[in-house]
Amino acid sequence: MNSAKISVPELNSPELYINREQSLLEFNVRVLAQALDENLPLLERLNYLCISCSNLDEFYEVRVASLLQMAEMDATLISADGLSIQEQFEKISIKAHELVAEQYRVLNDVLIPRLETQNIRFLRRDNWSLTQKAWLEKYFNEELLPILTPVGLDSAHPFPRILNKSLNFIISLTGKDAFGRNSGRAILQAPRALPRIIQLPVTETDNGPHDFVFLSSIIHEFVSELFNGMTVKGCYQFRVTRNSDFFVDDDAIDDLMLAVEGELAMRNYGDEVRLEIDANCPEETVNFLLARFELTADRMFLANGPVNLSRIQAIYAMVDRPDLKFLPFKPGVPSAMGRNKDIFASIRKQDILLHHPYESFMPVVDFIRQAAADPDVLAIKQTLYRTGVDSPIVAALIKAARAGKEVTVVIELRARFDEKDNIGLAAKLQEAAAHVVYGVVGYKTHAKMCMVLRKEGSTLRNYVHLGTGNYHPKTARLYTDYGLFTCEKELSEDVRRVFMQLTSLGKVSKLNKLLQSPFTLHYGLLKMVDKEIEQAKKGKPAKIIIKVNAVVEEQAIQALYRASQAGVEIKMIVRGICCLRPGVPGVSDNIEVRSIVGRFLEHTRIYAFYNGGDWAVYASSADLMNRNLFRRVEVCFPIADKRISERIINDLHANLKDNSQAWLLQTNGQYLRATPGDQPVFQVQTELLKTFCQ
């Protein structure tokens, strides 16, 4: 029987690629879906709503801002999926407006009513009792009035500079002030120090301790107190999102820290990219603000509630209701470390893998603390990308430096939204006489590495920690990541060479085992894909499993398409952006892509190749993105210990087995949530918690 021949497109055909921005918005749709999951604790569902909102903020601050800059440079640019910049803006607007409408629907129609059943209430102005209104008026007069500064708009009072993502009000007025002025409009900026949610005292509620009022509601109600002798005709909240990505000219700077500090000062006043405004705002006022900020209607959003939903996240800490939150857990500690408090002795015995947050991050902190206190330790070298303001790791490094050890820290000052914190950490380390460098100009240092040089008898030994995530104890309880301790000679020598490369100006000789961007990582991964293709063409089993945060880089996508065409079985676990289109006949039939959205943010990067039955497993700080592969310093390290590599493969298979928190990417770019059907519910994060935690 003859079958119709499938028309197979060229591998660079636009139809084979999903738009990056649409894929990122789809991820936020999956996050928001968690807020509707009846199986999750109620306050956690509220958290997911807030996360989807803060994610959308960053999307406009960075991605939309980047597209706008690209359009200014060359409006004719076409993305890999064949869309012009203008077409991308049109699709972004449609999807983003749908997402925002759903966010407010979930808040107003789902979560607020459910919270009320648990005696957690957001009181609207028309529901305030007389005594509550009196208490709130006193709060306004004593706590708010002294620090609020309205600005009437006239020739002597121009429109004020509006801070990025700040809460503001535009107020319509009639009448004249003491000087006979009547501009008709005023702007009121709410200082960021003010809480956005105010909890009523128990004496003012018959509903228990969890009655709350939005700051915006209080200001709306009592705003006339700011305009004595005038009449307030309308008061409408609004918020402006600005370009928060900054540019440092690598060729024109002498001091990177000073350049970054200078750019940080301007971040709050970047170009406007989005306007959010009260849904009840009159059209005339909306148009006035759009014109003032030089924005078009497609980047204006009407808010059916507070203009910054992410600030509602404060409720989580204010409400002491463990029954409405995830059960607490105590991370496990590997038996290899639990039995022996001498971390160096444990690592000498065998490589040790940590899987956060199921296993504690404390061994990493203890590793550096022990190195700081050990008289046999001569030097410590570490990269820091994000680590937190009061980092115990930085404290240990400072202690080591003050003890006279050679401490070298590579701090990435341009870690987005952590720049200010990192500048402060760099200053503290320098004060303690640590050697601080800022990586390589033009390349962000994103690798996660720590090396301890220890004198043992007549020999020197390097102890190394390599990770897929940041040296940040707090996020290590929220993100899934792997960390490897080893003192294997060739691998630790590679780490030493990479540090030399980051701190000196010379070239580094060929690495033994590490793959490193921007040099060997991209080529090395594609070479391993090619090996699987060769196996498949010989009729032998060939498999690839990849777990990353994002898949964007075109050459890598095309390599995976070729592998699929050759018969390689490819399973991909991609948390966020995925531009690869699975299930295209003749191209990606053998590729499955899934995203897991659960209690923890999936953050591990693993590249696993069947390798003729002897799995070759690599962990990395890098995703399959152009920036990671070509514009950052990243490392990708092999898992040589078969016991550990088998464990990681089992973890990957558990991810592929998830039938409850997994979302399957369809050929059309949409995601469908996996359902158990008649099978038992299997959630990989829940199972790992059971396995490792107490």
**Residue 446 annotated among the catalytic residues of the structure:** yes
Whether the CB-CB separation of 59 and 24 falls below 8 Å is answered with yes
- List residues bridging with 545 in a β-sheet: 571, 608
Closest CA to 552 of 609, 629, 652: 629
Rounded to an integer, what distance in angstroms lies between the CA atom of residue 484 and that of residue 347? 10
Whether the CB-CB separation of 115 and 121 falls below 8 Å is answered with yes
> Which phi and psi (to 5°) does residue 587 adopt?
-125, -55
What does the H/E/C string look like for 287-304?
Answer: HHHHHHHCCCHHHEEEEC
How would you list the strands of the sheet with 168-174, edge to edge? 151-152, 185-189, 168-174, 231-242, 272-278, 300-303
Supply angle C-alpha 478, 26, 584, rounded to 5: 115
Please tell me which residue in 356, 446, 465, 603 is annotated as part of the active site: 446
* CA-based torsion, 106, 110, 113, 116: positive or negative: negative
> Which residues are within 8 A (CB) of 155 and not within 5 positions of it... i.e. 6 or more apart?
none
CB neighbourhood size of 526 (10 A): 18
Whether the CB-CB separation of 292 and 161 falls below 8 Å is answered with no
Rounded to an integer, what distance in angstroms lies between the CA atom of residue 611 and that of residue 64? 41
The string of DSSP codes covering 227-284 is: STTSEEEEEEEEEEEE-------TTS-S-HHHHHHHHHHHHTTS-EEEEEEETT--HH
Residue with tokens 């005709």: 233
Tell whether omega for the bond before 357 is within 30 degrees of 0, i.e. cis. yes
DSSP three-state, residue 449:
strand
> Which residues are within 8 A (CB) of 73 and not within 5 positions of it... i.e. 6 or more apart?
none
Residue with tokens 């940080």: 264
Q: Which helix (H) or strand (E) holds 101?
A: helix 85-105
Active site residues: 446
